[in-house]
């Protein structure tokens, strides 16, 4: 049984194969439109989502399969106290594969331990968001042609932003990547990312507070929102929420070929005036998310080698 619980569940070779498949799908999705005929995807979302849930659903529908699931804990028997372990045993009777988002870190891993179908971690608390990382990697590879040799600035809520943790974990496996971690001191990356991931692997990085100072150095700028739902104190959130706002004046300091990514949703951290800048890649990134999830479903269902 194969699951996707962490971006590191895939080796670099497997990741390359997956991204090649996603690229092939992106060039002609209709060729894949019957690969999952008769298969069912369950989306078990205990936390709100627009992109991840709907792009998973679009991915399975594009492959000819069907979808079922719930979009909030309140609309499932979790509201009556059912455990994740019991829920996944039931879902294993109804579907062939499932994507789970949960506010508790590790919940999809618990589910995988009791599941007889592949489980995909669609975001667990402030921990990991592996399919967003696959989306981010595809976006960088499609835009730059390679996942080696660039400087990436990760900006905003680096403490609670699970997409940042997953992306750092993945990118350290590529050559000559330099990280510039841009955050207020209250929202710096967790110690385990700094020590066990970056320092332990001798990866070049620096931590700064001011975005303007490093804009000219960046090949990729990965903006993130301040994660309101993970703050214990609303006043603290309000103090932090507009710490960074990317606007045309800041974009003018950047390289002509620096791309801006954002996992979305955005709140205020990218001004809408930036949307028309050709370097703004975040809506394209969301489109890549569908192709990469189509490729992932095919791989986990072992349908990726099927003739199309």
Is residue 156 part of the contact set for ligand CP (CB under 6 A)? no
Query: Is the CB of 52 or the CB of 115 nearer to ligand CP?
Result: 52
Is residue 151 part of the contact set for ligand CP (CB under 6 A)? no
Burial category of 97 from C-beta neighbours within 10 Å (exposed 0-12, middle 13-18, buried 19 and up): buried
Query: Is the CB of 215 or the CB of 292 nearer to ligand CP?
Result: 292
CB 106 → ligand CP: shortest distance, Å?
Answer: 18
Burial category of 266 from C-beta neighbours within 10 Å (exposed 0-12, middle 13-18, buried 19 and up): middle
Question: Which is nearest to 246 in space by CA: 227, 219, 217, 266?
Answer: 266
CB 252 → ligand CP: shortest distance, Å?
Answer: 27
Q: Which of 27, 80, 185, 256 is catalytic?
A: 80
Cis omega (within 30 of 0) for bond into 170: no
The reply to whether 52 belongs to the active site is yes
Is residue 248 part of the contact set for ligand CP (CB under 6 A)? no
Instruction: Give the whole-angstrom CA distance, residue 156 versus residue 50.
Output: 21
Instruction: Give the whole-angstrom CA distance, residue 134 versus residue 13.
Output: 13
Out of 72, 149, 265, 267, point to the residue binding ligand CP (CB under 6 A). Answer: 265
Out of 132, 139, 169, 170, point to the residue binding ligand CP (CB under 6 A). Answer: 132
The reply to whether 266 belongs to the active site is no
Is residue 263 part of the contact set for ligand CP (CB under 6 A)? yes
Instruction: Give the whole-angstrom CA distance, residue 235 versus residue 19.
Output: 42
Q: Which residues contact 195 (CB under 8 A, 6 or more apart)?
A: none
The reply to whether 87 belongs to the active site is no
Query: Is the CB of 122 or the CB of 193 nearer to ligand CP?
Result: 122
**Would you name the residues annotated as active-site residues?**
51-52, 80, 101, 129
């Amino acid at each position: 049984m194969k699951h996707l619980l962490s971006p590191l569940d895939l080796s670099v070779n497997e990741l390359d194969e997956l991204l090649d498949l996603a690229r092939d799908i992106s060039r002609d999705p209709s060729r894949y439109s019957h690969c999952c005929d008769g298969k069912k995807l369950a989306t078990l979302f205990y936390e709100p989502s627009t992109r991840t849930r709907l792009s998973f659903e679009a991915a399975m529908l594009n492959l000819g399969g069907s979808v079922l699931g719930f979009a909030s804990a309140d609309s499932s028997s979790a509201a009556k106290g059912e455990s994740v372990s019991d829920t996944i045993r039931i879902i294993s009777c109804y579907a062939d594969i499932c994507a789970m988002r949960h506010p508790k870190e590790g919940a999809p891993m618990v589910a995988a331990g009791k599941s007889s179908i592949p489980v995909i971690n669609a975001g667990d608390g402030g921990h990991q968001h592996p399919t967003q990382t696959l989306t981010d990697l595809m976006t960088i590879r499609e835009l730059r042609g390679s996942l080696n040799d660039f400087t990436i600035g990760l900006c905003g809520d680096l403490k609670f932003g699970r997409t940042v943790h997953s992306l750092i974990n993945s990118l350290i496996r590529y050559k000559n990547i330099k990280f510039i971690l841009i955050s207020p001191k209250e929202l710096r990356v967790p110690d385990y990312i700094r020590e066990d991931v970056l320092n332990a692997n001798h990866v070049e990085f620096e931590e700064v507070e001011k975005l303007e100072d490093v804009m000219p150095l960046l090949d990729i700028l990965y903006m993130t929102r301040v994660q309101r739902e993970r703050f214990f104190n609303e006043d603290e959130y309000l103090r932090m929420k507009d710490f960074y706002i990317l606007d045309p004046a800041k974009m003018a300091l950047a390289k002509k070929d620096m791309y801006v990514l954002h996992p979305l949703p955005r709140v205020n951290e990218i001004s809408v005036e930036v949307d028309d800048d050709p370097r703004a890649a975040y809506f394209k990134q969301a489109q890549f998310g569908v192709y990469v999830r189509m490729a992932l479903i095919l791989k986990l269902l072992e349908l990726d080698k099927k003739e199309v």
